[in-house]
Amino acid sequence: MTPAPSVLALEAAQDGNLRLLRKLAKNLDLRGVKSKDGLNALHFAASHGHLECCKFLVEESGLDVNSVGHKGETPVFCAAIDGSVRVFRYVLDRGGDPARPHDRGSTPLHCAADHGHDEAVRLLLSQRVHVDPLNYRGAPLHLAASKGQDKALKVLLEHGADPNRVVNHIFSPLMMACCAHSLKCMKLLIEAGADANGAGADPNIPNEHGRIPIMVAAARGQRELVEILFPRTKPMPCLPDWSVDGIIRTMRSVHIEPQDAIPVEQEVSDAKSKGKEAFAKGDYLTAVYFYTLVNKFPLDATLFANRSLCWLRQLEGDRALLDAQQCRLLRPGWAKAWYREGAALSFMKDYKGAVDAFWGALKLDPGNDEVENTLREAIECMKRAARSEEDKNP
């Protein structure tokens, strides 16, 4: 079965097939063609770096350079995903808003920094956009640091990004770089004035191999960074000569087993405790961070239940649902697992799925008032949604 012309048009824009786009445009108003997420052909062309398609869509087909998808995505935001400077410059020159955030508060600068597109970051900053806009994950500098995007991070710092800004009471850019074990980012941040003794800049957090930043820096012979990290790092049994020279000498000559670095049980216990404390304070993103640290125990259903709730409080329905489903898979006989799944589905407006999940929870915990009330609410929402659909399609 041949796809509809509207589907072909979006695929052509995504693939950069200008010839097909021109052909389809003869019998199709491309301004009205959108995906289920409200994205038009210009969004698709911009997100895949197809300059000639963008020109055709704007100049000949009349698509708006500031059109928005259902989540508030603009062509400028989509161009930041691909990072093509030519496309970026074009949509900006045609009047695209360089600072407009999407519904979750992410700006094109956040997106470009997150993907490490340093030239796109530089171009956006030349448009005089704010260098430190905040979304639920922090400023662009936090995102660049968390992904080890040292080139983008350097550009942001050159334009005055704050190296000591703390979000969610714990996340400084330096801590983000520590967690990513990006020595280049850590060095750039410290050179820019990041406080190595500041809130959240904890260099004692191990990577997946059990090594902390000072061990990685020492193994690579980066003495300057070892000297910076040394006063803030807790002594480790596997490194008996606890000095700058001793750490470098040991790490460059001796194989350290991951299990010797950080006792896993202690790490997991501390992470759970800190996650619970952060949740109680309403710092849900911080709680997610600490709950994620205990992924070394992937069979811990409680972890997934707690993290699902944190994601829900952060309005991240899809992530809340994934964790809830993993929780239910691990403990199918636990009412809370079904309840968490129902809550996530309800948030995502899948009321039928939510009703099924809440029923599952109620069967496992009969008489639970909270479950009964949420089930009743989900049933009402499902009925209202059905009536609304009938009104649209009489």
The 10s digit of each residue's pLDDT in 125-179 is 999 999 999 887 789 999 999 889 999 999 999 999 998 887 755 567 887 887 6
Q: What is this structure's pTM? A: 0.65
Fold of the CATH domain 1-97: 1.25.40
Instruction: Determine the 3-state secondary structure of 138 from DSSP.
Output: strand
* Between 387 and 311, residue with greater pLDDT: 311
Question: Which range among 196-200, 215-219, 318-322, 333-337 shows the weakest confidence by mean pLDDT?
Answer: 196-200
Q: With 60 as the cut, is the pLDDT of residue 261 above it?
A: no
- Cα 48 to Cα 51, 66, 152: the distances in Å are 9, 17, 20
Q: Taking residues 75-90, report their average pLDDT.
A: 94
CB within 8 Å of 23: residues ≥ 6 apart: none
Q: Where are the alpha helices (DSSP H) in 281-368?
A: 284-293, 301-313, 317-330, 335-347, 351-364
What's the CA gap between 138 and 133, in Å, rounded? 8
Comparing 68 with 263, the larger pLDDT belongs to 68
Quick one: CATH architecture of 264-387?
A: Alpha Horseshoe (1.25)
pLDDT-derived band at 259 (thresholds 50, 70, 90) equals very low
> Residue 182: is its pLDDT beyond 90?
no
Instruction: In whole angstroms, give the CA distance from residue 341 to residue 361.
Output: 9
**What share of the chain in percent tops pLDDT 90?**
49
| Parts of the chain belonging to CATH 1.25.40.10 | 264-387
Write phi, then psi, for 135 (nearest 5 degrees).
-125, -170
Of 147, 266, 261, 264, which Cα lies nearest the Cα of 211?
Answer: 261
Helices and strands: H and E segment counts in the chain:
23, 0
Q: With 60 as the cut, is the pLDDT of residue 219 above it?
A: yes
User: In the chain, where does the domain assigned CATH 1.25.40.20 lie?
Assistant: 1-97
Instruction: Say yes or no to pLDDT of 392 above 70.
Output: no
pLDDT of residue 258: 45
What does the pLDDT read at residue 150? Answer: 96
Higher pLDDT, 257 or 41: 41
Name the most confidently modeled range: 54-68, 156-170, 200-214, 237-251: 54-68
